[in-house]
Structure 1
Amino acid sequence: MISLVVVSGFRYKSGTDFATYTENFQYLNMKKDTDTQTQGNAENQSQEGDIGFDILCQHLYKISTDPQIMFFATALITNVLIVLVLMKYSSRFELSIWLYITTFVYYSTFNGLRQWMAAAILFAGTKYLLKERSFIKYLPIALFASLFHKSALVMIPIYFFINSKTFSKRNLLMVLGFMFAVFAYSKFLPILANVLEGTQYAHYVQIFETDTNGINPLRLAVYFAPIGMACFFYKQFNPKKDIQVDRLLNLCIIGFFVMFMALRQVFFARLIFYFDLYYLLLIPRLIDIGDKPFKRFLYYSISVGYFAFSYLLLITGDAWILPYTFKITLF
């Protein structure tokens, strides 16, 4: 856990969002800065509505004006929450940690600091989402997470969507809905526009209409592989027909279809943050499929396969993780 926090917290100019978050942190010094443009940018930033992150940064600014304190604090909070949940709920903790890095989730936390903090907070509520199922207890967690990124509110309806058997009529309707959104994209846009109207994300509708860039299909295949295998070997994957396992699988299925929609518009991939972490609980369960030799084969195939995937993303410059620079400027 310490190494995860240190590598992330003391990175320098690593990640596509590094410069943006550095500037935003410095904008908090508005009262001391007489530059009008800087003040205007700060006001725009504050209008995004993620007040929890702004308050956190304001308190951090009192401790140090060096932006590295923000990167370290967010790395500490995000990684500690994620690792503690994996430690408690993963069937194979060591594999989950390996996957945290090799599925590129860990590197993804270098960017989108606000949203990953929100995702980590929601992940901390796994007990009430998958295990004990208490909406009264899960709702405050979701609302608190939304203070860091309002998109976290999407997990409130998701709480109800996942509470069914994997091969149920409800899930079939959900799958058909996602298929409609992808293959009838032009008809789906007006519906999305109505949902986003009046929110801080309303301006994205124009982006959806003019920008048609989608994700690399390889990413979609990577998301499909574990849920495809879990569904194909479902009787072995969930022999006791445990509803908790079904909820976990349902979450990952929704995550896959979110990425499926991202084939049409890459913006949808931002929502995958809230589902990525549950893959880290799902994939280790696949090792329960088959006899002992097959389990060993799966274990090493998964480990090597995801390592190759992360290596490919790193060397191709995905998310600007490389070149990585470790630099302590805080002390």
Structure 2
Amino acid sequence: MTENTDLHRLLDEAFSGVEMTPDAQDLKEEVRANLVARTSELEASGALPAEAARTAVAELGDVRELLDDGTDAASPRGLAGYAALQQKHRVRPKPAFVVRVVLWSAIAVVGISLGILSAVGVLPIIVWGQVALFGFASTALGLLVGDSLSQETTTNHPMPSGRAGAYALATFLAAYGIGFGALVAFGTMPVWGIVFAALGVITSIVLFAFLGATQTNRHKAWTRRALADEPANRFEREPETAARFGIYTAAIWIVTFCVIAVLVFTVGWWWAPVAFAGGFALMMLVLARMLFAPDRKA
């Protein structure tokens, strides 16, 4: 990708008039790295390089405040006052977003509730009506996740709409897959419905793993500065370990759902939760092993 020269020019202008002490120079280079990542996200979402640079620098705010916050956060007193920094930089949710969240949540609750009541025979709704209800609920859950991720928060910049939409799709597939599995478990849908359940859940796991492995840092500069002394976890120190965990997770769940399908078609669906619990336990063991095993780089 071509270097965004507008970004460096705007950053120099933002620091004009600031005495370039060693601390200020360190902060400038840290901010530069954050802005490069931020402009890359904005350009990936369709913004022109010059527009992306202006947006990223505008989100930065006054660098003098960052210098003040950085000095405070470097001391034990500043770390103890992290909550005060959060309050200072607090971003309030937009009223329209709050309304949408309530709407998506209500649709999800109603869809799931009616779907379950009809699946157990309380409501006389045909099977495809039950599928539609779970579809409405899954769509609402996906919209809830995507809409939430695309919002700016106190500590994070908003996620680009395309990536937020991918998270929404992954949520929809997972929820719809679980809904199909529930209908098979309740006996309102033929056993072959487990195929749709497995496809939905497996695809969502793969998509979640891909999105997690390719996620770039969205923390605002003041947050990164305040948490600079916090020790990094193993996945942050060793990106290759995080990538291996994503691959292992996808493999574990693909095998798990294949086993579930075999059990459903052979000995009965009641064995499916056993296979699911086994897959989850194996994933937790792999996670513990990868996070807490002796550090080979030490």
Q: State TM-score, norm by structure 1.
A: 0.27
Q: State TM-score, norm by structure 2.
A: 0.29
Whose radius of gyration is greater, 1 or 2?
A: 2
Greater RCO structure (CA 8 Å; 6+ sep): 1
